[in-house]
Amino acid sequence: MLKTRFTETFGVQHPVVCGGMTAVGKAELIAAVADAGGLGFLTALTQPTPDALAAEIARTQSLTDKPFGVNLTILPTVNPVPYDEYREAIIASGVKIVETAGANPAPHLPHFKDAGVKVIHKAVAVRHALKAESLGVDAISIDGFECAGHPGDDDIPGLILINAAARKLSIPIVASGGFADGAGLVAALALGADAINMGTRFVATTEAPVHQNVKDQIVANDERATTLVFREFRNTARVARNAVSEEIAEIGRRPGATFADVAHLASGERARREVLTGGDIDGGMWWAGQSQGLIDSVLSCREVIEQIMSDAEAIITTRLADAVG
């Protein structure tokens, strides 16, 4: 068993995290991650209201007695989101770990701290991570350029970014972007991280609440099967390569293009309806990272975590031990 600052700080068995994923971070997946010894995060804004989030937290609590958290992503939106009410739903439900992302979490930190809630903040740059540390978060999840979702515009891959962050941060670090196996965990630990975060790997599990076609496509895809979109709008995102994401990328390259030109293609509701629920792989834009190239089967969350830990320990005790023996 691998013990790190992360496992000790957050009271989990293994240094493996399933971060918040829109429309995917639901009770059945997060409870399975927790039962397998990892730390999973429900996605607050997947739920349409704070009351619905409270109900989803209660559903997760009915499925596991192990620690789990809630992701609260704070972003500017066309329709105002009652972030304070979502925060209070988290606190009132007794959740003790929160993952914040997006905008500055400062307005929420005193409330979480007063309630004894530990906060992990997601960052895509060392400067942002240092700012979050100065605000008093308990850990940083640092996202390399390989990740699904929004890697920022610096284009720094994990091999550099994790190491650079570890040289300057004093709090636990979760390495994110491109992780899917035991070798990745060992590499992250060697770079100075205390845990790994995986999204795409956990989508390709039996418990993930998405259509089987999506899981099978992740297995079939290789590390080249992603596309960067929204670069021209200064909101770079890495998504699965398909007909829709290729069209979005092409439109974005046109002179004078704006997000309004691709909004109908990039709609989250469309992706949930056509892809994640309907199983039409080309039906909408959906999130996936370069770690697809490391995923060769759909497994249960327990099988994924056990295999990662077994492989990591074998690498440390055999291959690396032999190299210095």
Is the pLDDT reported for residue 321 higher than 90? no
CA dist., res. 141 & res. 183, Å (int): 19
Region for 169 from its dihedrals, namely left if φ exceeds 0, alpha if ψ lies in -120 to 50, beta otherwise: beta
State the amino acid at position 244 in one-letter form.
V
- Beta bridge partners, 143, equal 176
pLDDT of residue 131: 97
> What band does 324 get if pLDDT is binned at 50, 70 and 90?
confident
**Coil, strand or helix at 69:** strand
pLDDT digits (tens, 9 = 90+) for 294-313: 999 999 999 999 999 999 99
pLDDT above 70 covers a percentage of the chain that reads 100
79 CB burial (10 A radius; 0-12, 13-18, 19+) = exposed
- Structure letter (DSSP) for residue 15: S
More confident residue, 325 or 271: 271
- pLDDT for position 2: 93
Residue whose structure tokens are 């979760």: 174
| Residues 62 and 94: beta-carbon distance below 8 Å | no
Tens of pLDDT, residue by residue over 134-167, are: 999 999 999 999 999 999 999 999 999 999 999 9
pLDDT of residue 322: 84
Angle at 77 between CA 76 and CA 78, to 5 degrees: 135
Interval 167-217: pLDDT, tens: 999 999 999 999 999 999 999 999 999 999 999 999 999 999 999 999 999
**What pLDDT does 323 receive?**
86
Question: Average pLDDT for residues 207-228, to the nearest whole number?
Answer: 98
Cβ neighbours, 10 Å, residue 288: 27
Q: What does the pLDDT average to over 99-119?
A: 96
Report the alpha-carbon distance of residue 7 to residue 80 in Å, rounded. Answer: 36
Cα 34 to Cα 205: distance, rounded to the nearest angstrom = 14
- Who's near 244: CB < 8 A, 6+ residues apart? 265, 282, 283, 284, 285
Between CA 17 and CA 28 the distance in angstroms is 15
Q: Is a pLDDT exceeding 80 seen at residue 325?
A: no
139 neighbors 173 (Cβ within 8 angstroms): yes
Distance CA 85, CA 256 (A): 38
Give the torsion through C-alpha atoms of 9, 40, 102, 127, to 10 deg.
40
Alpha carbons 109 and 229: distance in angstroms, whole number: 32
Residue labelled with tokens 């004093």? 170
Q: Give residue-wise pLDDT tens across range 58-96.
A: 999 999 999 999 999 998 777 889 999 999 999 999 999
Q: What is the pLDDT of residues 1-42, one digit of tens each?
A: 899 999 999 999 999 999 999 999 999 999 999 999 999 999
Mean pLDDT of the chain: 96
Question: What's the pLDDT score for residue 162?
Answer: 98
Q: What is the arithmetic mean of pLDDT over 268-273?
A: 95
